[in-house]
Structure 1
């Protein structure tokens, strides 16, 4: 009810502001300002609901020095406003060998985040995407325009045998988490 009342009052200000434009410009500007602010805020919400990042907008470069792989990522366009503060790196290693060292930027309050819920959500989503037979090893990484992470593979594992995915998470208000995945080639 109050939203309708605000909308009606804003329309009234808009009509009065247009009507008085030629005779009383100062008052007209004051009356038109709430209408323009309302239109700008509606436009902002609509744009951010419409704009989604796409896997094609994310580019990776991989460097190997000794046993340490460093992956650098860059988004070609701005990140979506409703992105989740954390994205994820998913490793599939043959024979479920464990990756023990992954260096990356993390969200400052990652200790307060419900990591189990997030990881379970990703595992449920991965099941729909026909994952490899080995178990997923999931690491969080801070969502940012430019990022990098480095890792060391177990001794008996070659880079060609490992499958790595970057999972981008998005959470619009009043909506469930959404994910998309992009494969990282170790070449």
Structure 2
């Protein structure tokens, strides 16, 4: 019912602005400009509520130099407006071998955030989505148009045995966290 009332008010203001046009162009602009600003704002909110990035929106390339791996990612399509400030790179390494010398772009205020709940939700989502007996190594990265993550692996590991995932987090207002996963081929 309220949608019909809003549409009637919008239509009425447009008709009034057209009728007033010959008498006073300033009054006509005064009626239409705020109306179009409100319509633009409503359209912006609706678009951002419906637009979601998908795993195919992200292109990740892997470079290897000796035992140093560099993951470079770029978003082919625009990022969604309701994305979370951080995403995660998840690595599964055979025998739970430790990954060393990790370098990445981090959200500057990440340590000041209450991240325990976020990391717990991400880990639960990872366990639900990716079944593995291995311990995941989870690295936070800032959600930006492009990113770089680099790390060193021990020499005795075959890169084909490593599983890597990009975890994207979305959080619409008044809604729960949403996750999607993109598998990254290391070899």
TM-score by length of 1: 0.90
Give the aligned partner of residue 146 of structure 2: 146
Aligned position for 1:134: 134
Paired residues in the alignment total 185
Alpha carbons of structure 1 residues 8 and 112: separation in structure 2 relative to 1, 3 Å: farther
For each residue in 1:12-39, what CA deviation from the matched residue of structure 2 results, as whole angstroms up to 9, or x when unmatched? 6444323212332111001111111110
Deviates more, 1:72-81 or 1:122-131: 122-131
Task: Give the conservation status (yes or no) of the 8 Å contact 2:86–2:142.
Answer: yes
Contact 1:10 1:34 in 2 (8 A): no
| Partner SS for 2:48 | helix
Paired position in structure 2 for 1:76: 76
In structure 1, distance between residues paired with 2:66 and 2:24: 74
CA distance in 2 between partners of 1:139 and 1:114 (Å): 16
Distance in 1 of aligned mates of 2:143 and 2:91: 18
- Distance in 2 (CA, whole Å) between partners of 1:143 and 1:159 is 26
> Structure 2 CA distance, aligned partners of 1:162 and 1:184?
10
2:57 aligned with 1:57, yes or no?
yes
Give the distance between the partners of 2:10 and 2:41, measured in 1 at CA. 13
> Corresponding residue for 1:96?
96
Moved over 6 A (4+): 5-11
Q: Residue 124 of structure 1 aligns with which residue? A: 124
